[in-house]
Amino acid sequence: MEYLNPSGSIKDRPALFILQKALLEGADEVVEVTSGNTGIGLAYWGRKMGVKVTIFMPKSYSVERQKLLKSLGAQLILVDGNISDALRQGEEYAHKSGAYLGKQFENRANWEAHYFTTAPEILEQFPQVERVVVAVGTGGTLVGIASALKRRGVEIVAVEPEESPALWNRIEGEKLGQIKPITTHLVEGVGAGFVPPLVEKNLHLIDKVLLESSEEVIKFWRKIVKEGIFGGPSTALNLLTALKLMEKEPKPTLTLAPDSYSRYLSRL
């Protein structure tokens, strides 16, 4: 239940690690391109640590996230287009201003946060784990957990929205000689439409990639919220995939609730 972290998501972990790295390099401003949660984590910790945080985010992302970023004191710059457009503009801004560019899709601090914190917690709390199901956003959670658990024989399953099968194309599609088109989808925070550099360097850690229809995920999400599982759409993607796997092959399986449904109230 990662939405119980201080700023409300799993991104508290890499946000803190990225800020510590930036401070070690003498930065007084951190720029990040984000779908929301990393930005919120950076804004939360940056405010406590006295670091200015500037966030670039597509306009299409939830109003709740935008309001929360502003309330935490971040400078929020909304971008027309998708995450790739935001990445380009964020890089241009950091180059001109001299700010530290977080580059969560590439920064080792992203996955190291999960290697040094999330993975040990999993082993302490659920030592019998045999399979981990993780939706892919930046890839930090996947790579960090897999780097620690793969060597223990834990199966690593990556998940993407069916409409954005970038990693599936790279791994499963190449095996099958089949490439699926990449389009828009409904699951915020995952499925960026490309294979994150963190993941590209660590494909050997992934046992399989699965896809779920984002329409089915959103329908399932609305159901689990009513049942008291207060995660967001990416929680539904993780849980739906894990439940389907358990039906086919029951074994001790762990998945994550990356953030809270409260960040998507307008979509419920």
Task: Report, as residue numbers or ranges, the catalytic residues.
Answer: 11, 234
Residue 15 main-chain phi, psi, to 5 deg: -60, -45
Residue 127 Cα to chain centre, angstroms: 24
- Distance in angstroms (rounded) separating the CA atoms of residues 178 and 156: 22
Residue 258 main-chain phi, psi, to 5 deg: -65, -35
* C-alpha gyration radius of the chain: 18
- Distance in angstroms (rounded) separating the CA atoms of residues 232 and 1: 11
Instruction: With beta carbons less than 8 A apart as the criterion, state whether 237 and 161 touch.
Output: yes
Sign of the four-CA dihedral 222, 65, 211, 258: negative
- Distance in angstroms (rounded) separating the CA atoms of residues 70 and 33: 15
Closest CA to 100 of 166, 168, 170, 19: 19
- Distance in angstroms (rounded) separating the CA atoms of residues 129 and 98: 44
Dihedral angle, C-alpha 261, 262, 267, 268, nearest 10 °: 70
